[in-house]
Amino acid sequence: MLNMGTAAGIQILPDKLVLVNVRKGFRDFTVKQAAVLEDFRESSVAEMKGRLRQQIEEGAVSRDKLVLGLPAEEVTLRLIELPIEVEENLEQVVRFQVEKFEPSEEESSYYDYVILSRDEGQKKIVLQIAMVRQSLLDGYLSLLKDLGLYPTAVRLSSLALHHVLALNKNGFPKKEPVVILDVNPGTVEIVIVVSAERCFAEKLDVPAENLNADAIIRELYDFVSGLPVKTESIARIYTTGALGGELLGELRQRFSDCESLADKLKVKGQVVRPELVTAIGLAATALSKSRSAKINLIPPEQRVIERKPSVIPTLVLVVLFLVIAVSAATREYKQSSKFAGQIDAEVQKLQPRVNEVLTLKKQVEEKQKELEEIRTLMRGEQQVLNVMKDLTERLPDDTYLQSLNIERGQAIIFGFSNSAGALIPALRASNHYKSVLPKYTTKDPITKKEKFNIEAALKTED
């Protein structure tokens, strides 16, 4: 379930940062270093830089495969079932779904999604969509950038608790789901893990005086009863978090299969304290092969921009300079047979490095080509979003779309309306279309609305 390599996880809590650096070897998983930085929100940037520099030197933070985890109250996570036919325009459909959950038109969101399952028989797909307010994530990324850290991914901490089961001695559930209770002062997060790909999470505000096994069990059963996946029993309950150990004793009096999640992790190196479990799970998502672990709330264009500067071009130039220098030396000593043999030997010695340089140069050119393709794709995506926004603003409330296909400069619109004829002048008044032509209009016997097909030629955007 996990690839070999190193990764780091950073968990943001209200009063501290938890940092963990891990390594997955051929046979084992090791926590190389871990650190907890208290009161980070109240510390100055200069002070935090000094503390982080020390942790980087000690190995607690890796600059490669760095995953930032956001608390559940700051991220919206949804499982959505859709007809399989929407895959052709899946990005547009997801964008509409995200707009439904956004708190206001002024507050935009970053989002990402993965296809968890595809049922060809039922003609359905299941998506997992995660979204976070742009202003919130921009603030976190700016803070980490000031501290010299560039996350490769941002994920919900609940997903980290889900995927940390890849390191658990019992693994992921086979039949009945397992429950993870992340218990901290004032809050309890409930994570129901159904399989290696699916989980459900809910975070509760629980005052200290109400933090007891009876109250948590009631909340747990209320949560489970409302899930789309029905289950007759729970296989096991794990506790973690700062107060997880205190609740574990009470839970064991009611359930026989209750364990500390930290005690069941198959890891080497440091002793795994409960406060480190989520950060370990975040690092594990960077190495995971699971689809649900690939959610990344950093927008694709920022993943390219915020990537650390590459040293490959510099290495290419340095090695090429060495090759040129050797060639010049070869010409200079060509007359001497004594030195000719030495030069030939040096050239042969450098040949593997030259081959490596040429390979790296080819890889750089390929990456530059991919980047240009991404930019071209994003320009096309922006035009699609502009058209969708324009339709949302112009179409009356009694009109809804059945499908929208944008291809080769044409927008083909199918839908239903009380008055399809009134849509034509409204669309022609838009600055996005060169022409708007009605293809057909029929009366739908079921909805009593007019079913329409409209084709609009899009204006070319500079």
Give tens-digit pLDDT for 50-80.
777 777 666 656 666 889 998 888 888 888 8
pLDDT at residue 239, rounded to an integer: 92
- Does some domain include residue 388? no
**132 and 51 in one domain?**
yes
CATH number, domain with residue 197: 3.30.420.40
Q: Answer whether 0.75 is exceeded by the pTM.
A: no
Q: Residue 123's domain spans which residues?
A: 1-168+265-307
**303 and 159 in one domain?**
yes
Q: Which residues neighbour 158 within 8 Å (Cβ) at sequence distance 6 or greater?
A: 72, 77, 189, 191, 199, 201
- Cα 219 to its chain centre, rounded Å, is 29
pLDDT above 90 covers a percentage of the chain that reads: 7
**321 and 272 in one domain?**
no
How many domains would you assign to the chain?
A: 4
**270 and 240 in one domain?**
no
Beta strands in 120-159 (DSSP E): 124-133, 153-156
CB atoms within 10 A of CB 392: 12
- Does some domain include residue 151? yes
**356 and 298 in one domain?**
no
Q: Which residues neighbour 277 within 8 Å (Cβ) at sequence distance 6 or greater?
A: 161, 164, 240, 241, 261, 262, 265
**114 and 189 in one domain?**
no
- Cα 16 to its chain centre, rounded Å, is 22
**157 and 188 in one domain?**
no
The span from the CA of 4 to the CA of 27, in Å, is: 9
**183 and 163 in one domain?**
no
Helix axis angle for 244-252 and 213-225, nearest 10°, is: 80
**324 and 224 in one domain?**
no
The residue-averaged pLDDT of 193-211 equals: 86
Report in angstroms the alpha-carbon separations of 74 from 8, 67, 136, 412. 21, 16, 8, 37
pLDDT category at 304 given cuts 50, 70, 90 is: very low
Q: Which residues neighbour 121 within 8 Å (Cβ) at sequence distance 6 or greater?
A: none
pLDDT category at 455 given cuts 50, 70, 90 is: very high
- Cα 139 to its chain centre, rounded Å, is 17
Residue 276: both structure tokens together:
């480190």
Residue 387: both structure tokens together:
């058209």
The span from the CA of 63 to the CA of 232, in Å, is: 44
- State the distance between the two ends of the chain, measured CA to CA, in whole angstroms: 46
- Does some domain include residue 204? yes
Short-list 300, 291, 301, CA closest to 114:
291
**328 and 271 in one domain?**
no
Least confident stretch, 53-57, 154-158, 190-194, 349-353: 53-57
Report in angstroms the alpha-carbon separations of 12 from 41, 183, 262, 397. 10, 15, 19, 42
Contact 287, 3 (CB under 8 A): yes
Q: Is the pLDDT of residue 180 over 90?
A: yes
Last residue of a domain, one of 260, 295, 320: 260
Contact 280, 20 (CB under 8 A): yes
- Does some domain include residue 46? yes
**416 and 280 in one domain?**
no
